[in-house]
Structure 1
Amino acid sequence: MRERQMLDAAVACFARHGYQAASMDEIAELAGVSKPLVYLYLNSKEDLFTACIRREAHALLAAVAEAVTDTAAPPDERLWAGLLAFFGHAAEHPDAWAVLSRHARTQGEPFATEAFRMRDEITAFVADLIGEAARAAHGPADFVGRDVAALAEALVGSAESLATWANGTPDVTAREAAATLMNFAWSGLGNLMKNERWSPR
């Protein structure tokens, strides 16, 4: 219970100030505990920040995984469910999203590795869905491997940027953000599944 309170306070503080400027005194005050108790539970500021990243990454991944449990659903419906969960979680936990998407990646190691581990898991999931769609559509033989990996990276990168924009833009809902990306991405993917590729004139 106390550790959760400290992590909650730390996430809020890191989101507001960034890693360097965040104060252990402020974190302790927000958590309603003494500073020595924070150190007793979490050893150091570095360990505390790492624990925040791991907890929030696990929560985001769990939300997405729970949303796509229906493996019998078509790939586009599973992707839609995953995007809704992703944008919904980022919107409901803006401090956590700020820590994961911005602060963890700009502070070097070991924090960046923790953040990119989460990104790699989401990208692998998206790549599996794109691969499933390609196989279901009996797509072209060359639509494998690197094509799937590249599209997954592009989609996840777009989702991350759009989630940050949506969180900072009044009146944009998670559903609207998810629909924007789904329309943008899946329409293009649908054409790829039919081997209709754009090429420069």
Structure 2
Amino acid sequence: MPRLILLNGAPAVGKSTLARRYAEDRPLALVLDLDVLRRMLGRWREDPSGAGLRIRSVAAAAAREHLEAGYDVVVPQLVGRVEFIERLGSVAAEAGARFDEVVVLDGEESLVSRFAERTRAAAEPEHVEAHELLAGGESALRDWHGLVSRLARERPQAVTVACVPGDVEATYRALLAAIGIDPVRRVRP
């Protein structure tokens, strides 16, 4: 059975890194990184909010098609609105796939440091854009951390994965265990 995995979490928590790592282990698994997809919309910066909503619709359609073909989909995205989470759950159900809602967590101070370091390094264009779009700076980042932490507590079907600072593989193994995949054999139960 294919899976649709939402990796929710505050900026710089490692969602995209975990999504890419998951795809490395699974043939034709699709990483639907909405920040990357949004950049493909013409003049998206003129209406970032509208572009975000539009790309969520595009991603839902792509996820449905890929799941129906029998392949896994991973969506690494900061989601503060429950409506999009529920939409992804519906897409998975309609495609006969399993939906894994995962919240990737890190401590607030660690997150602030990670975001600052990621912005300084600016390895990916979407990281620079995330910094530019984060109105309110550090205060807004702390607010996002609080929102994601609250969502993790309020959504009983969500599983949490704690970041292991500096150890992507350990965090990845924790993700696999949280969604019921043997992290050693990588076999679905």
TM over 0.5: no
Structure richer in helix, relative to its length = 1
Larger radius of gyration: 1
TM-score by length of 2: 0.29
Greater RCO structure (CA 8 Å; 6+ sep): 2
Q: Higher strand proportion, which one?
A: 2
Question: What is the TM-score normalised by the length of structure 1?
Answer: 0.27
